[in-house]
């Protein structure tokens, strides 16, 4: 896989969300990715003409544990014709490089334009990792066979924030999207630093480029404290709205 050699090659992903950053204020408080934290992201629809739009919210709460972490995820997003899509997940992760889940539960649903949840759309299921296999309960789905290195898309946010900024390289792993869709052989490459003008200030950003079979390129941008500020895909982006970290002792 050919990857951009310089962070300047990925600056266009920041240009794509420029309108969504008009009121963005870079967080200034302390942040320790290995401790407990809560991030709230706006979901920005890049392709909405002429100026994009905020079409949802993603909230991730991390609780640090001695042998890993617990991620609690809530997401609400608009779909076509003003119908909504919602999901909740609880993910028990290991302390390894990729925050690989041990087990997780998920609930998904769709809602009508008036906000009413459509009962027939509600789906609940659980899954557990056993070796290189993910087994599901509560849904008729065959086990997923994954590589030794794998994680969920939401757990990847936790993993990227825990990687030292000075660590460069390229990594290949399997990624499971939305708790049940396998994307094999995904490639992540470190890029940075890059200086961007955010909230009237010059901010040094560090990034990751993600490409792979069956998925669109995604660019992740973190600040100097390893806090993930933006995740930019072709049609949609996550823009950090608020961030709270566990107070330091």
> What band does 50 get if pLDDT is binned at 50, 70 and 90?
low
Q: Note whether 172 and 76 are within 8 A (CB).
A: no
Which pLDDT value is given to residue 249? Answer: 47
Which pLDDT value is given to residue 144? Answer: 96
Measured between its terminal Cα atoms, the distance across the chain in Å is 44
Which pLDDT value is given to residue 168? Answer: 87
Mean pLDDT value of segment 179-187: 95
CA distance 95 to 71: 12
Task: Write the DSSP symbol of residue 183.
Answer: E
pTM above 0.85, yes or no: yes
Is pLDDT above 70 for 49? Answer: no
Tell me: the pLDDT tens digits for 199-213?
A: 889 999 999 999 999
CA distance 229 to 123: 31
CA dihedral 162, 168, 171, 176 (to 10 degrees): 30
Which pLDDT value is given to residue 101? Answer: 97
Tell me: the pLDDT tens digits for 63-93?
A: 999 899 999 999 998 876 678 889 999 999 9
Structure-token match 């995740």, residue found: 231
Give domain limits for the chain.
10-245
Is pLDDT above 50 for 147? Answer: yes
Tell me: the pLDDT tens digits for 221-233?
A: 999 999 999 999 9
Nearest to 145 by CA among 160, 161, 129, 156: 129
What does the block give as tokens for 174? 């399997």
């Amino acid at each position: 896989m050919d990857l951009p050699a310089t962070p300047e090659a990925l600056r266009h992903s920041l240009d794509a969300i420029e309108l969504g950053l008009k009121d963005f204020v870079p967080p200034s408080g302390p942040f320790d990715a290995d401790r407990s934290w809560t991030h709230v992201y706006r979901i920005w629809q890049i392709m909405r003409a002429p100026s994009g739009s905020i079409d949802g919210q993603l909230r991730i709460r991390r609780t640090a544990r001695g042998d890993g972490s617990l991620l609690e995820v809530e997401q609400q997003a608009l779909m076509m014709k003003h119908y909504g899509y919602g999901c909740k997940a609880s993910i028990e992760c290991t302390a390894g490089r990729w925050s690989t889940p041990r087990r997780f539960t998920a609930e998904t649903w769709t809602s009508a334009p008036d906000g009413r949840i459509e009962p027939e759309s509600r789906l609940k299921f659980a899954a557990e990792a056993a070796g290189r296999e993910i087994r599901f309960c509560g849904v008729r789905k065959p086990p997923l066979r994954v590589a030794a290195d794998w994680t969920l898309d939401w757990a990847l946010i936790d993993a990227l924030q825990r990687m030292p900024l000075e660590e460069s390289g390229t990594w290949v792993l399997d990624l499971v999207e939305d708790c049940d869709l396998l994307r094999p052989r995904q490639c992540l490459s470190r890029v940075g630093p890059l200086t961007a003008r955010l909230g009237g200030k010059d901010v040094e950003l560090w990034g990751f480029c993600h490409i792979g079979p069956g998925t669109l390129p995604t660019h992740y941008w973190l600040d100097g404290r390893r806090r993930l500020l933006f995740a930019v895909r072709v049609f949609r982006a996550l823009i950090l709205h608020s961030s709270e970290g566990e107070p330091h002792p």
